[in-house]
Structure 1
Amino acid sequence: MRKYLQFIVFSLLLSPFQLLFAEQDFSEVYSQAMLSNDAYLSLDELELALSEQNQVLLHKATIQSSQVNYFISEAAGVQTIGVRGTANLENVMLDLSVSLQSDSLLNIKLHQGFSGGAKAVYDDIKPYLSIDKPIHLTGHSLGGAIAVVLGMYLTQEGYQVEQIITFGQPKVTNVTGAEQFKTLPLIRVVTPHDIVPLVPPLSPLQIKELDIYWHMGSEVILMENGEYAETSGIKSAMRATKFTSSIPSEKNLVAHKMTTYLTLINALRESSEEVPYKTEISLFGFSLD
């Protein structure tokens, strides 16, 4: 019980209830969403799509050992790395059932599958990257998780990681790892009924050992009617307490699809209003809202 209380106190000290965020540029978010969607395309389709977005394809590869697929493109001197995810929600949930493992390169704990995928991309992509040009990273689902870890590796090696925007991304590290990379320029875009960003969920064993999965960056929650909410830290983490272990529903599947993200973000490009996010959760009688 004492460790649980320590965790709560540490969490509240680590992250304010509600940080102040800059107004979101949903045109930029939409551009990155398009690039995340492009990662699912074949080579011919990708070249055409990137050309229509004024991007030049520099490299595309599938890492055979991990089956991670990624591309790198360039526009206006900015290098963009897009990592393919998966639209199969049940496969995503299965792949997430991996415990945290120590990462020797970053000296933090990471999801073993994500770190392995990111290392493979990092080793493969270095000959095609310029250390003197800014880098943007993006990805959907598992691709977003790999993009975040890849961003950690690149940052540590001195590359100019300027922006990371992910869509429906699961957690990749624990509280300590999130604190170490708290300056990573990460925006996590989610939808209210997409359960992938909520996993792996909080578990009693992790809380007991103060070794729980924890999100980084700001979380942008897309809603309907031109509304969105933004949160981070403890409020973002508490969303995971709403996770259910039941079989994902059709509603969850639709909420996780890249087409759903594109539709909602496109609407927000025209008109957007930020609204408070309500966790409807209290700790020791105090509301997080």
Structure 2
Amino acid sequence: MRVQRSVFSIIALILSVGYGCNMQQNNVVSQVPDVEKNIDFNTIKWYAARAGAAYDSEAEIKATFPDTVRVAQVGSTQVQYFLEFDTARKIQIVTIRGTANLKNIIEDVEYIESKNDRLGIHVHKGFDEDTFKIYQDILPFLKKDYAVRLTGHSLGAAIATLLMIYLHEDGFEIQRLVNFGQPKFTNKQGVERYHTLPLTRIVDENDVVPLLPPATLVNALHGGYEHMGDEVILLKGEEYIYLEQHQADTKKVEGFWNNLDHESIKEHLIANYLKNINSKLAKAEQVPYAARDVYLDRHAD
């Protein structure tokens, strides 16, 4: 309970700092029409199952995913990852655990940007430090002739995205990254540099963490944080929303300030993501972003 209270205190502080400064964001309206996109939720579940398993012990991970060749905890926050080899398809899968303790949670909401000279972009300092430690640890075990898939939840999602960029720069073939509840990790220049990488972000409509750091916490020199990658927003039941990369940030900034009453930290849990994905396996319906409030009200408790 102490950790849970701390989570709410941290988020409340962030929101109180930002709310008065950004009411003008309420008037941001995107004129870009919604794009039709059929999402394969069985594939999304394939990634989500791994993101959930990353919270388990090494023995449990290997029992669930017997092709796992390494499980390790790295860095000052002891971020856990595991590595699988699919030898038949020559694919290596990297899964990174999300927020597991108060130190991880505080790292989620810190917003200090620093220049990564290797990548040539400004990035979230805490995420980058943990990413580089995982990168150094995992690199000797990776196969250069295997394609790479990555996934993660929360803090692990941000680290997975940065790790994808490191491996891309090393010449690895990045096949796909699907992550869940990812906070932002870079600014506009970083997004522009790496926007072609195959990232899909899965976001629960009521999850506050993907909106962190909020737009109010900007770095005067380097600009505010932005998201990269396409976005799939999970509503309750069968419905979902799809946003291309160029749509996602504008619409979600608007949504943050207009829908604060919907936000809840429990929606960030990977178990909630799995529940919402499972509800779309038999049938899934894409709905317009502009009509999301209708579906939120329909499924309100």
* Preserved contact between residue 199 and residue 240 of structure 1 (Cα < 8 Å): no
Aligned pair count reads 261
Whether contact under 8 Å (1:222, 1:264) holds in the other structure is yes
Helix, strand or coil for the counterpart of 1:269? coil
Equivalent runs, 1:257-276 vs 2, <5 Å: 257-276=269-288
Report the equivalent of 2:170. 157
1:6-155 matches, within 5 Å, as 17-18=32-33, 20=35, 22-51=37-66, 56-75=67-86, 76-86=89-99, 92=105, 95-155=108-168
Aligned partner of 1:227 among 239, 247, 264: 239
TM-score normalized by the length of structure 2: 0.79
What SS does the corresponding residue of 2:99 show, helix, strand or coil? coil
Deviation per CA, 1:120-150: give whole Å up to 9, x if none.
Answer: 1111101110111111000000000000000
d(CA) in 2 for partners of 1:249, 1:47: 40
Question: Structure 1 residue 31: deviation in Å?
Answer: 0.5
The letter of the residue matching 1:17 is V
Shift of 1:86: 1.4
Tell me the CA shift for residue 221 of structure 1: 0.3
Comparing 271-280 with 257-266, greater Cα deviation is found at 271-280
* Partner-residue secondary structure (3-state), 2:65: helix
2:281 is paired with a residue of what secondary structure? helix
Instruction: Report the CA distance between 1:110 and its aligned residue.
Output: 0.3
Using the TM superposition, give the Cα deviation of residue 225 of structure 1 relative to its aligned residue in structure 2, in angstroms: 2.4
Percent pairwise identity:
34
Rounded to whole Å, the distance in 2 between the matches of 1:21 and 1:148 is: 25
Structure 2, unmatched stretches of 5+, are 1-24, 293-301
SS of 1:259's equivalent in the other structure is helix
Pick closer, same or farther for the CA change 1:38–1:175 going to 2, 3 Å: same
Paired residues of 2:127 and 2:159 also in contact (CA < 8 A): yes
1:139-178 deviation per Cα after TM superposition (whole angstroms, max 9, x unaligned): 0000000000000000011001110011000001001100
Q: For the structure 1 residues 155 and 18, does the alpha-carbon distance in structure 2 shift closer, same or farther, using more than 3 Å as the test?
A: farther
Structure 2 distance, partners of 1:160, 1:31, is 20
Q: Is the 8 A contact 1:103 1:110 kept in 2?
A: yes
1:88 deviates by 6.0
> Is the CA contact (8 Å cut-off) linking 1:182 and 1:216 kept in structure 2?
yes
Give per-residue Cα distances to partners, 1:187-220, cap 9 Å, x unaligned.
Answer: 00011110000111112755x7671111001010
- Structure 1 unaligned segments of length 5 or more: list them: 1-7, 281-289
TM-score, scaled to structure 1: 0.82
- Aligned residue type for 2:226: W
Deviations 1:52-108 (A, max 9, x none): xxxx01111111434221110122321100001015689535532222111011000
Work out which of the residue numbers 249, 260, 267 in structure 2 matches 1:255.
267
Aligned-CA RMSD value: 2.8
Matched residue of 2:55: which SS? coil
Q: Give yes or no for contact 2:75–2:134 (8 Å, CA) kept in 1.
A: no
User: Residue type of the partner of 1:193?
Assistant: N
Residue range with higher mean Cα deviation, 222-231 or 91-100 = 91-100
2:227 is the counterpart of 1:215: yes
Q: 1:176 to 1:21 in 2, by over 3 A?
A: farther
For residues 218 and 49 of structure 2, the distance between their equivalents in structure 1, rounded to whole angstroms, comes to 39
